[in-house]
Amino acid sequence: MTPHLMIAALLMASGPAMAQTPVLTVYTYDSFVSDWGPGPAVKEAFEAECACTLNFVGAGDGAALLGRLKLEGARSDADIVLGLDTGLIKAALETGLFMAHTIEADLDLPLEWTDPLFLPYDWGYFAFVGNRGAPQPANFRELAASDLKIVIQDPRSSTPGLGLLMWVKSAYGDEASAIWEGLADNIATVTPGWSEAYGLFLEGEADLVLSYTTSPAYHLIAEQDDSKVALPFTEGHYMQIEVAGKLASTDQPELADQFLRFMISDAFQTIIPTTNWMYPAVMPEAGLPDGFSTLIQPEKAILAPIDEADALRDLALDEWLRALSR
């Protein structure tokens, strides 16, 4: 096919096909819809009870998701956006594209949740993960003083990387710069995303990797390997709460609410722990899978207030860049 024909084909392909059953379109991040994520099981479970078609559309990660939504604006096909985290909520709010949901939820989060627009579906703590038996610094200062090598993610391109930035900033405030300067010689390298960092750690390139307190559960449950541990830090652990929201432009408002209700029901929540490797936002009746009980339970949960997160983020990024560019 010649390029001009291609362009013609590009431009003429038809719009959404007419469907008999109602279609609920959910935008989410790519790893949610992947064959190894919660997507396939969630789709099956919801379609069994909704007499509808659940259509997942994957787009990069949480930040890319929001970017796509901004590009599309009110013309978006999406009825639900699932996969924004607490760091993105303010920016999502400012788009004015979301509307309040009508769900009464009794959530099991370490913090109180009051946001009227966004409903959490899972959460986790960031943590450094290392090998059992290796030295375990108890906080950032001890880590900086040690000669352990860590691999972290770039906050400009990765959600966990941003989480670490906010963790240090929230825990140390004005001293965050000094902490980063202390950590500079511990950082083996900074990767664009979580996968690269975790891969590097498993290859022995570093002693510790920034990941989640739930990471050891994967190795334990899926690989019967108990050699990975998350390190409890005395500062407390920064949280990631993942949320979904209903778009004001939806043509399926009832179905969207039905999905959100389903999202915090057992059917959805039992899928989360061993596919997304996060804690369910509402504890299922059967509890957590075996293996989760061995995970560390941070004493203190840290989360920057949603409306201050943006300003804090820009300040923290400047400090991070300055400290590590020396």
> Which token pair is 246?
């209903």
Nearer to another protein, 38 or 245 (CB): 38
Question: Closest distance between another protein and the C-beta of residue 201, in Å?
Answer: 10
Nearer to another protein, 191 or 213 (CB): 191
Question: Closest distance between another protein and the C-beta of residue 150, in Å?
Answer: 11
> Which token pair is 203?
């290859």
- Decide if 282 contacts 269 (C-beta within 8 A): yes
Q: Residue 284 and residue 83: Cα distance in Å, rounded? A: 20
Nearer to another protein, 36 or 106 (CB): 36
Question: Closest distance between another protein and the C-beta of residue 234, in Å?
Answer: 26
Question: Closest distance between another protein and the C-beta of residue 97, in Å?
Answer: 13
Nearer to another protein, 97 or 264 (CB): 97
Label residue 96 left, alpha or beta by phi (over 0 means left) and psi (-120 to 50 means alpha).
Answer: left
Nearer to another protein, 9 or 138 (CB): 9
Nearer to another protein, 101 or 154 (CB): 154
Report the Cα 315 to chain-centroid distance in Å: 22
Q: How buried is residue 55: exposed, middle or buried, by Cβ count under 10 Å (0-12/13-18/19+)?
A: middle
Q: Which residue has the tokens 């990660």?
A: 61
Q: Kindly give the pairing relationship between strand 150-153 and strand 187-191.
A: parallel
Helix H or strand E encompassing 129: strand 118-131
Nearer to another protein, 212 or 236 (CB): 212
Nearest Cα neighbor of 165 from 87, 242, 276, 278 is: 87
Question: Closest distance between another protein and the C-beta of residue 74, in Å?
Answer: 13
Question: Closest distance between another protein and the C-beta of residue 38, in Å?
Answer: 10
Residue 7: CB partners within 8 Å, gap ≥ 6? none
Question: Closest distance between another protein and the C-beta of residue 269, in Å?
Answer: 19
Nearest Cα neighbor of 134 from 236, 207, 58 is: 207
